[in-house]
Amino acid sequence: MRLTFLGTGTSFGIPQIGCRCAVCTSGDPRDRRNRCGAVIETGAATLLIDTPTELRLSMLRSGLGSVDAVLYTHDHADHTHGIDDLRALSGRHHGQVPIYGPADALERMRRKFDYIFDPQVNPIPGSSRPDVSATALEPGVETLVAGTPVLPLRFSHGPSDVLGFRIGPLAYLTDVKEIPPAARAALRGLKVLVLNALFHRSHPTHLSVPEAVAAARALEVPRTYLTHLTHETSHASLLAELPPGVEPAYDGLVVEV
């Protein structure tokens, strides 16, 4: 199994518009962070997690030209507004792309992107739209996605919920505020964990860096990668402070599981 980080930044992206801080002006390429997304290649399927704003650029950089399905964590803009780039991954040359996610998020996406989901909205002759089919996932119920068993798990994201995904020995969790006991039980025995870590201080909708480290330790995961990072932490400084087995991810990082 192979995990490729397409983007590892917060909703602003890094560098942020108009910011001249040390991280936003850093010469370290690991400090340039697009919005969060990833690809998991299982051997049987290529699964895209979310369609972040810079999806096209991130896919091109990573040399990825096709996907078998998309897993949506939730419908916030930084995780969905690259959906139009699915035009190049579906349609005449690739076929229909199945997308999966929380029922409420898919319903809001149907309204927000009606030109994609409404069968009565026809594209202008000569133009195209993403060719997708949507299926709601039930948290806690393992589902075959492109022939791959995927376990969706519900997490709190402040006032709303998001889905995290366990796929074999790997779990990808972003935009979560806490890991409840029921989810901890479902995450036992992981080899690799991806976990969001926003600031060093507490935040109402995201794990902080110390909270993410504590969660990784509680789950006893050998390798944890932190994502959804802000411009308050450079890659090098965060790497230097983290304990063994926990490190910041960066855009384009490939992890073999």
Annotate 190-240 with DSSP letters as a single string: -SEEEEE---SS--SSS--HHHHHHHHHHHT-SEEEEESB-TTS-HHHHHH
**Interval 40-59: pLDDT, tens:** 999 999 999 999 999 999 99
Q: How far apart are CA 107 and CA 246, in angstroms?
A: 36
Question: How much of the chain, in percent, has pLDDT values that exceed 70?
Answer: 100
Global pTM? 0.96
* Band of residue 152 on the pLDDT scale cut at 50, 70, 90: very high
Query: Residue 121: its pLDDT value, please?
Result: 83
* Band of residue 105 on the pLDDT scale cut at 50, 70, 90: very high
Query: Residue 91: its pLDDT value, please?
Result: 79
**Interval 176-199: pLDDT, tens:** 999 999 899 999 999 999 999 999
Buried b (16+ CB within 10 A) or exposed e, 30-60: bbbbbbbbbbbbbeebbbbbbbbbbbebbbe
pLDDT at 243 over 80: yes
CA atoms within 13 A on the CB side of 111: 6
Range of the domain at 118: 2-256
Higher pLDDT: 241 or 157? It is 241
Mean pLDDT, range 99-124, rounded to an integer? 93
35: domain CATH number is 3.60.15.10
pLDDT at 93 over 80: no
Query: Residue 173: its pLDDT value, please?
Result: 97
Domain count, the chain: 1
Average pLDDT along the chain? 95
